[in-house]
Amino acid sequence: MTAKKIDALGEHLEVEIGQLKSKISDLQTQVSDLKKDVAAIHDKFNSKFSILEKMLKKVLEEQTKILPSEVSEGDDNHEDRKNPKTIRQMGDQLVETRKGEEKIPLLEPISREELGRGYEERHEEDQVPPFPSETSVSIIEEELGKPVDEIFDRFDYEPIAAASLGQVHRASLKGQEVVIKVQRPGLKDLFDIDLKNLRVIAEYLQKIDPKSDGAKRDWVAIYDECATVLYQEIDYTKEAANAELFSSNFKDMDYIKVPNVVWEYTTPQVLTMEYVPGIKINRIKQLDQLGVDRQRLGRYAVESYLEQILSHGFFHADPHPGNIAVDDVNGGRLIFYDFGMMGSISPNIREGLLEAFYGVYEKNPDRVKFPHP
């Protein structure tokens, strides 16, 4: 090889090395920026969790007592503890409130009409503008194949609630009061576009995230989980099936009510259900007017979630006050709405949760162990 060729090769290599150094420098800058972002997020959430921890501690000090350890050491008979009756009994203790609480003065009883208004106002805190009623009617007629006047005895064109994914209309169907949840038009197309862009971001983060903090983040898996949940939420037949399963799980408990699904008039974009009015669970004054025992309702709420998580492994994953209401049937019962977002827990995880629960109850740290999923 001649000296001229060697010089040319050296120059070429210098250029390549320079470009490589530039790329490495860019990558180091990206990693540095990502570390700063991760640190900022970490600090932000640490601050929020610290505040939340203080709030929870204060609430617990005010509203609960330390559970007595009634189980003797060395008691290995766990079978009886796993049945729903035992879980509900322990739920009673979890919601025991302080004694000697000042009694609430008697208030005027609330009427069924006011119950209905409570139902209609249950989304007002995160109310979004409704879409035109004509659009809602058009979607119903396209999905169900008939004009609304031929389907329903009465259809209320003014929606009683509107949310990000859809809006709700009241109607009368074959003599029964029902609600019709109608999906906002074009949601799937919007999801397709947004989620496609988010997928690109997730894949990029997967490549550049150094994971130097030891965390095993899988950005694509996180994306996949979110996308699955979102698409399930806009399939109202999936929500209807969730509602039926949830209702079946609580069929023997008269303190839980789930509106019945009218399958004949339900499609992926239209959900027709029994109209069950109630008062939002955080409307204290109205609950007192209704004449229900709030302490008992608190016990019911805890029992219901112990049942969902530890017994059924199928739970309502969006239990904000807009999705849980109360009526005066059977002296006061909980009404669950909106079953678009549900969670499932595998049997081995449930077993681990149950062991941890009893470990805390018995003050036995050796039982607080979780199996791998």
Q: Are 84 and 307 in contact (CB under 8 A)?
A: yes
Annotated catalytic residue, options 224, 288, 318, 328? 318
Per-residue pLDDT of 191-245, as tens digits, reads 999 999 999 999 998 888 877 777 778 899 999 989 998 898 899 999 999 999 9
Asked whether residue 339 carries a pLDDT value surpassing 60, the answer given is yes
* Confidence (pTM): 0.64
Per-residue pLDDT of 151-184, as tens digits, reads 999 999 999 988 889 999 999 999 999 999 999 9
- Greater pLDDT, 59 or 352: 352
CA angle, 76 as apex, 70 and 80 as ends, to 5°? 70
Q: Residue 213: how many CB atoms within 10 A of its CB?
A: 11
The alpha helices in 67-111, defined as continuous H runs, are 84-94
Question: Is 224 among the residues known to form the active site?
Answer: no
DSSP β-bridge partners for residue 264: none
Asked whether residue 87 carries a pLDDT value surpassing 80, the answer given is no
Average predicted confidence (pLDDT) for the chain: 79
Q: Are 179 and 272 in contact (CB under 8 A)?
A: yes
Q: Where are the domains of the chain?
A: 1-63, 83-340
